[in-house]
Amino acid sequence: MSNAHTGDLTGSTEQSRAGSEDPAEQNGPLFFRVMTALELRNGVRRGDFSARELMLHTLERVEQQRELGAFTEVRADIALDEADAADRLITATPLSERHALPPLTGVPTAHKDLVRVRGFATTHGSKAVPHPIAENDDPIAAAVRAAGAICVSKTQVPEFGIAGYSENLVAPPARNPFDTARTAGGSSGGTAAAIASAAITAAIGSDAGGSIRIPSAACGLVGLKPGRGVVPADAQNGELDDLGAPRMAVSGPMARTVRDAALFFDAALGRTDEPSLNALDRAHDLSGLRIGISLDSPFASEMAILFDKAATDALHEAAARLEQAGHRPEQASFGYGTSYPDAFTTVWTQALTRVPLSAEAEANLGELAQWFLRRARGATSQHIAESVARLHDFARSATEQWGGYDIVLTPALAFAPPRVGEFWGLGPEGDYRLQCEWAPQTSMVNVTGLPAITVPIASDAAGLPRGLQLIGRKGSEVQLLQLAAQLLGQ
């Protein structure tokens, strides 16, 4: 694209991974150093470059990264039309007033292929359902659009978002930009690959069992899972699901820098005054928090949960940085009982019974979805009710135990991202078990409804990102972003 105004759109950016040079620069031609979303927003506002120029650059970048399987449908026509509209709005606004424009005006982004976006098809990653062109946006897509961001593409997901990796039968798998033989995680795996490969700078993902945090950790990003009902688009769905269980799905930002995550979080909140972004200017003032460090998992009663050395090394490094920042990290022990694995899986799989599927359509489901559906249909109404009650009990107990600390610190993932195809190769039961072993401390946070953030801390011997998870108290999203900024020196 033309860079007549600035000479370069690939200038300096904030350090996205603490303690070393950006790994994006260390992996050859796959990466290049891009401006952050905040820098792009400000550059478009100033007129350093046009939204159309930026979109053309983004479309070129998207095309260069096709082998990652991140993008399921690119609509250059829609994206360029919206970029032109953004340019008309910017041109019509005096420079002194452009600070009042929608906060993401002209910034390219993407949405998961579980979200309806006007003009795009929605596949839900499945051969079993139609793929209609959406006439209207889902609430979260509408919020991002209202903030001025422009959707360039839909991104790869697992079928109906049911897995922690992004492989399905309708599009190529989402691959990890740090090692394309490995998964990018899921269910926001395509989004994570798109951001980590520098095709886009940030996006809003969704998280019902770890779907923001798992791929963010796998791809070296900052991923914030807000608390239940914090984002207005999520609050419309209520506190409970159709079974009366705690509603687990929320929407939140994924980005290469903390400031970009805060920028997109504020946009999802509809806050044009950008309180989260502004709070990062005071991040260095935060100190004295009691932080409980834990490897405990509610899945440990059913399977061996083994964290590799790189995962625990990242945890120790994070604890050291937090102590240096004036906090009080200490070992913590939590008791989760034995009922969680069955209760969570029972409630988790019931969602598929609410998808209208004919017998013919069911035959087009992937193996994991078919197994989930069989399991869900085999559950009695009494067992479902008991599972719902057990999840509520778990949420109360975990929240009470974690409440003894300001923050709970855990590894983000137990080991390196598995290889593409490795989950499928184990059969559906082995597939699901490997997911639980890989991300043994994410879904429990969704059940409690509390906020959590994943932060990249280090790279392992193979150059793969390793990170940690910070679980906060209710309403602590801004505090979590501040802690992430402390950890990353941003």
Residues acting as catalytic residues:
112, 187, 211
Instruction: Report how far residue 152's alpha carbon sits from residue 119's, in angstroms, rounded to the nearest whole number.
Output: 11
Instruction: Report how far residue 435's alpha carbon sits from residue 433's, in angstroms, rounded to the nearest whole number.
Output: 5
Instruction: Report how far residue 432's alpha carbon sits from residue 466's, in angstroms, rounded to the nearest whole number.
Output: 22
For the chain, give percent helix, strand, coil, nearest 5: 45, 15, 45
What does residue 74 show for φ and ψ, rounded to 5 degrees?
-105, 130
List the structure tokens of 431: 């597939």
What does residue 351 show for φ and ψ, rounded to 5 degrees?
-60, -35
Side chain identity, residue 259: R
Beta strands in 412-474 (DSSP E): 452-459, 465-471
Task: Say if strands 290-293 and 407-411 run parallel, antiparallel, or are unpaired.
Answer: parallel
Crossing angle of helices 258-269/477-488, nearest 10°?
160
List C-alpha distances in Å: 149 to 70, 96, 152, 250, 303: 19, 21, 10, 20, 43
Close Cβ partners of 426 (under 8 Å, ≥ 6 residues apart): 433, 434
3-state class of 467 per DSSP?
strand
List the structure tokens of 266: 């504020």
Beta strands in 56-193 (DSSP E): 71-74, 108-112, 150-155, 175-176, 179-183
List the structure tokens of 89: 């709005």
Instruction: Report how far residue 109's alpha carbon sits from residue 54's, in angstroms, rounded to the nearest whole number.
Output: 11
Q: Residue 329: beta bridge partners?
A: 291
Close Cβ partners of 80 (under 8 Å, ≥ 6 residues apart): 52, 55, 56, 59
Place of tokens 């095309």: 63
3-state class of 29 per DSSP?
helix
List the structure tokens of 233: 């688009």
Q: Residue 71: beta bridge partners?
A: 155
